[in-house]
Structure formats: C-alpha cells, structure tokens
Structure 1
C-alpha cells in the first residue's frame, strides 16, 4: 500500500464503550471530545486526521448506532453522515467492546454491524477492548477471549485480531508489565493494521452505497474545483462532502413533501390534531379519525411539529385567523394549515441545518 494513502479507520460500538477515548489514545492527544450521558443525544460522527509513524490516518468516531432503543429513523441520518465521512470505504473497522461479560446485547451489536456492512467487513476488522483494568492480573486479551464462545467466534472471523486498552489507568508508559501500557498496545495495533492491509493488498471495504456516495463526492468536487481555482484539494473534498450530505438530507425532505401532496387529507387530520393539542383551539378532529390508517411516517411528522412549536405554532394561529375562524376544521387545515406547517418545518430545517450536527 502506498505510504501516501490515508488509512481510514472507522470505530464502531455501543455508547459508553470508550470509542472516543480510544481514538484519543491512538492519536496520543485529546482530538475527540469524550462524551457524557447528556452529549449522547447530539453526538454525531466526527473525523480527524493525523500523521502517525509517517502514515496519514483518519479516525472516524461514531455515535452508538447500535444502542438499544434507537429507532431506524434516528440512526439513518447519522449513518448517512458516517458513510459520507468514510467514503469510498474504510480500510479498518475497530469493533469496540468493554472487558466485561459478552452477553446477548453485545452479540446483537455484532449482528447489527454485519446487517449494515455485511460479513465481508470482518476481513477489515479488529476487535478492540477497553477498560483493560478489568482484565485479571497476568491475563492477556487472547486468554480472556478464549473463555467466551461468542467472543472466540467473532475474533476468529476477524482473523484472530484483537487488542486491549485502558484509557484511565494505563497512561503511564513506565509500567512494570509492558503489555499493560497503552503506548505498547498502540504500537501493536498499528502493526496488526499494517499486516491486515498487506493481506488485503491495500484494498478498503466498500459496497454499493459507499461507491455511489464517493461518485457523488467526486462529481461535486469537480464542480467546486472549476469554480474556485485557489481552494486546496483537501478543502475541496470537505466542501464536496458537506454539499452532498446536505443534498441527501434535502432529498429526504422533498420525499416527505411528495407524500404530503399525495395524501393531503390524512396530513390535514394530523395537523388539526396537533393544532388542537398545542394551540388550545377547538377542532372538529379531537382524536385521530382512524388509528389504523395513521402510519408511522405521519406520526413522526406530527411529533416534529410539536418539537418545533416555537417556530410553527404562531404560524398555525395566523393561518386560522386568515380564514376567519376560531374553530379549525379538517378542510381548513388541508387548505391552509397543512402547507403552513410544512413550509415552516422546511424553513426551520434550512435555517438550522448543520452538516456536523444533524437534526439537533
């Protein structure tokens, strides 16, 4: 593999497993913010580049895609950003676990990773354990892995590649036991990665989605390149990624808009329900007319309206005043309120859009 090629390393695992601390340990500096519980709801994928031992390495830290209770709709936007950051594909997956009992929950995380990226991803994967202070004295991580059938099977599928770190207690490089030193483990991890890259002939993991995103990034980069002769290639690619991500998210918004056009009556029912519950006006639609026909997509639209009440409710009230009524009917909402709500949502989205912090 060409030494000038940047190695893209994607960290995956549950929230709280120590991905950000591990990334800082690999870089030898505080490049990534270590999140607390309050940060987890707004945490988005983050990419940093550093030269280590003459090699350019990009670490991509990710939120807990695979946390229990996270819906697919919550995961999709952030997964989109993650894919944009690591396109055309990662050279290395670091699958991060704590040194603790390997339960069905941890197995479920592994299964979800493979659902998103396929079994082929394990050819590019290293299993990394954090909280190494929990490792029994004198035991190495390979011995620990051998005690669990689930872990043993996963590590075997990853080419028997595994390492252990402790970001709290193993910082001192003057350890009596070199094995329990983060400096030693980082050096060993980089050796493992180099061996894996050689085995994979320098290739990176990719799939149809990653390839398509990379194609779009390159096309956008060419457009930027032609319009700006002074922008560096690094800046051009970053701008291209931001623009593509914004385009993808707007595409999702337009899809919702198309759905509203197709079923204005149903959307009106949802709108009237929101108006009656948030504004306090009486409505001919006190409850949703038919629970069975209200699909999950429109329930989420209603919830979005409620969350954005400060921007939207005044506009809804104004819409009611414009039709000269204190009672809001389904027809009224269909004609005025539905599009007022949607346009308000769109305006709110465009004003607050931040590609590094989607849907806060």
Structure 2
C-alpha cells in the first residue's frame, strides 16, 4: 500500500456540496446490484467486510465504476471477506444516499466507500453517527476524522489526452463531451482544452454536456453520448474525448462509424473493455484514472488496522492518472506526450482546473 501525501482540496469539497449524482438508497435496495460472499464462509469471517456504493451506471459501466470495482476485486482476492455492492439511480435523493450509507454501516461493513462526489453531504452526516467505521469517498472531500478522501488530478491526465488529440487530428477540429456540467467534469474539460491549445492554438474544440445540475442522466445515457458525438463529427471534428461514464460508450460507437475519426476513452482503458471490442480500432487512447488504486489502498489499510483518513491525492507524478497505450495508436507521438508529462510533473506546465 502507498500512503499518498495529504493536500488541500477545498475547491473540490465546496463543489461537491452543491451536487448530486451517485448511489442507490434503501428505498430501492431490493433492486440494487449486489455481490456478497456467503457470510458464513471462512473467507468472510477472516477477511474485510467492504461496503461499496457505486455511482450511476454501477459495475459494468466500462469506465469510472469499473475502475473502482477492480480495486474491490483485488482486495477481496488478496484478503478474503465479504463485499456488498449497491448501485446508484439517476433519481436518487439525499435521503436515498443517507439511507444507503447507513445500511452498510449498520450491517457492519468497514470500510464503506462512496464512489462519486455526490456522497459528500450524506457521508458527512453518516460518518458522524458511526465514528468506529472508516468511510471512503472518491472525487470529493468530507471534513471528518473517519473519512478517506480519495482525489485525483483529472486535469493532468486530460491535458495529455489533449496533446494526443492535437497531434492526431487531421482537420484541426476536436471535441469534448462531458456527462454533467459539474466542477469535477469541468476539470476534465479544462485540462483537455489546455493540452490541445498548448500543442496547437489554431485547433477548434467543440464542448457539449449531456445533462445539467442535479440531472445525472448524462453519466448513464449511451444514446445521448452517441447523438452528441455524431453532431460533432457532422460538424467536422475528428477526435472526440468523452468524460461521461457509460454515456461515453455511445460516443465511441458513433466515432467508430466515421472513417478516420478517433475516440479518447476515460477512467478505464476502454480499448481493453470486452463490450467495446468491436469499436477498439477507433479508440486512440484513454485517460485512465486509477480509482482502483485508491479503493484498494483504503481496504488494505483497514486490513492492516491502520485506516487511511484525511485527503489522499493520486496525481500524474504518482501514476494516479495516466494515458493508456493499448493498440499502439499513439506510439508515433509518445515522445511528445512524455515530454508534456515531464513538464507537468516538474511544474513547468501548470494545468488549469477550470475552463
């Protein structure tokens, strides 16, 4: 396990307090996705009981949630134990999120991990009621003594995606599709646009968000992703980066139908996603966000009886974010990408977190 240095991320915290978008409450628990080991098994008795509340789309979204799931799977394989998984609905209320986290804590799960920024308010409330339980939240910061805030420098990975897009476009026209226009996704946009324009300021960048405010359907609507990407392709873009959860699969499908166009995936290495295999010839690269590392680190810390708490940041320098090389499509431009990465790591390039 690696303990990552604490940083101040008040901006993310304040942004998260105004947002909603993750989880599945007790009111719909019977319909939630679950994967629990038999409670009477020897592995359940000797291992760690992990409660996971996924973002919209859940396990199988080929993106953000699947990255978290890999961390859970690794921890379960290594330590044994019991895992319970619940999945968000786009219609969730704050009460749903509070009920969900409370369910897991009352059932003895420790840690209880919220995958997504929308758990910020509910986790602050529930964590105070269960001081003996360690909670984890991805993509936000909760001011509580028993919470591990797992955050990433999404803008840095997205900057490298922008460099790749700028070097691969043949039309000097690229696009960005965001799931929901919230501060977290704005970080992806900001880094990507800066990477494009630092490489070639003449390139046009189209930006479109699939939903707004508390409407989180933009993270789980492949049809919306496909329509948005098709509109950009029709408008002349030939490289499209989507930070939109499972909606990104629709964008990738649209790009695959346009000869010479490229898609850039997000969170997971989408070239290697089995369900996207028929489109992988069009997946230039993916901006990988290693949520699995953060989740695994938290579970291991509980197993080791040294719970991680506070704010733990996973940066480009720490390989918390990266650019995938699967398919070999960026091999010809890798030296320029590596040069940009080195400048970000040494501080020569300061990547913006807002557009």
Return the TM-score normalized by structure 2: 0.24
Higher helix share: 1
Return the TM-score normalized by structure 1: 0.24
Q: Bigger relative contact order, structure 1 or 2, given CA contacts below 8 A and separation 6+?
A: 2
Greater C-alpha radius of gyration: 1
Higher strand share: 2
